[in-house]
Structure 1
Amino acid sequence: MTATAPEAHPAGPGPHPAGRRERKKQRTREALVDAAFRLFAEKGFDGTTVEEIADAVDVSSRTFFRYFASKEDVALTFQEEQHAAMLSALTDRPADEPVLTAVRRAVVGIAVACERGDLGFDPDRFECMMTLTADSDNLMAGSLEHAQKKQAILTRAIAARMGTDPATDLRPHVVASSVIAAFHAAADALTTDGLGFERLSDAVDAAFELLEAGLNYPSEGARPE
């Protein structure tokens, strides 16, 4: 990648003030997220306040709300990053791959990346987010709401892969809904001892295997061995 020279300001050489402001805003935003997850890990999601997050970065609560609508919004930045990475991974899947297989491999791949710390993901933050979501009804509700809002984006991505129009074809809507349900079922499975899952990636893979096998139970082929 070739670096480009900074845009000159009419008053003289050097970076444009707008560029400096944007970089400062981005640093503040990242600092708030870092501080929030440190506090979440120490005190839990419900035990952490917006004021404590702001104080940790030495800014006011008013400044916090310039960046985030709530502490749920901060926590869900990780889910936002997961969603963006999954869409990118889905786009990169071979065009001739069946749609559910392509989504399965994209979703499982991102789950593995989160667990291993690949693709820029922080595995400690991932583990913290999983614990927070399981322990906090408020954050779980926020997570479900976030997934619901992203469903339309996922539906369009799936429709594009299928070469169809979601305005006239129900199938991409059904696939997108099934994908979101499978992911949440997998997350729930981690807290169910009898199911025996220790990693999200394994639970997600098993959930997609059930979808691919079919849900019209009873059926000999509808349950993974």
Structure 2
Amino acid sequence: MTATVPDARPPGRRERKKQRTREALVDAAFALFAEKGFDATTVEEIADAVDVSSRTFFRYFASKEDVALTFQDEQLRAVLTVLAERPADEPIMTALRRTVVQVARACESGELGFTPERFQCLITMTADSPALSAGSLEHTQRKQTLLTEVIAERMGLDPATDMRPHIVAATATGAFRTAAEAHNSPSMGYPSLAEAADAAFAILEQDLNTR
């Protein structure tokens, strides 16, 4: 049997142009978010900054919330990858704590393909904008199944018949959101998201750890 060789050809001119347009829209959006704030920025302004129509904008993104939350997909992919690579005998909450802290540090240091300033802008906007906060929560809930599957595999459980992986995943995503809120609260005193996440997951680790 002849093995199938994956198509490793570089993207064509059309694909490269589409990617450049997408990246330009993201760049323009975050420049406007930083200048005007999320709620005051319109889709039309983002499109105009790239010299494209609003119709073109909607070929790439469903809304301005979708632009702002692009990086959440990168975060999730990193979390799933790091969690899957944690030692198999590590208790689940310990594995999640170390995974989330590692990914948070990578985000804050610019190691996931976007700048630390842009990442902090997203955290601040999510805290300040009810619309973006709601969009972030909805986005997280849609993606939670992927996290549940990885957790279920680590725990040796079937998520179709056992609630535990779902509860662990929901608890973990809630803890991360709480950590982001704590990082944004001056009274909490967490200078970085990684430190806030470490503290939040330490609480869970103490009470909910199980293999």
The worse-fitting range, judged by mean Cα deviation, of 154-163 and 193-202 is 193-202
Alignment of 1:27-106 (within 5 A): 27-106=20-99
Partner of 2:126: 133
Could you tell me the TM-score, scaled by structure 1's length?
0.85
Over the residues paired in the alignment, what is the CA RMSD in angstroms? 1.7
Q: Which runs of 4+ in 1 moved over 6 A?
A: none
Cα displacement string for residues 163-196 of structure 1 (whole angstroms, at most 9, x for unaligned residues): 2210111111111011011011111112333322
Matched-pair identity in %: 68
Cα displacement string for residues 48-74 of structure 1 (whole angstroms, at most 9, x for unaligned residues): 110111111111000000000100000
Whichever of the two has the greater Rg, that structure is: 1
Quote the offset at 1:5 in angstroms.
8.4
Partner of 1:158: 151
Partner of 1:219: none
Counterpart residue identity of residue 84, structure 2: T
Structure 1, gaps ≥5 residues long = 7-14, 216-225
Cα distance in 2, alignment partners of residues 37 and 193 from structure 1: 24
Alignment of 1:135-150 (within 5 A): 135-150=128-143
Could you tell me the TM-score, scaled by structure 2's length?
0.90
Counterpart residue identity of residue 81, structure 2: S
Contact 1:113/1:121 (<8 A) preserved: no
The worse-fitting range, judged by mean Cα deviation, of 190-199 and 144-153 is 190-199
Structure 2, gaps ≥5 residues long = 1-6
Cα distance in 2, alignment partners of residues 96 and 119 from structure 1: 27
1:193 aligned onto 2:189: no
Which gives a bigger RCO, structure 1 or 2 (Cα 8 Å, sep 6+)?
2
The alignment of Structure 1 onto Structure 2 pairs a total of residues equal to: 202
Partner of 1:171: 164
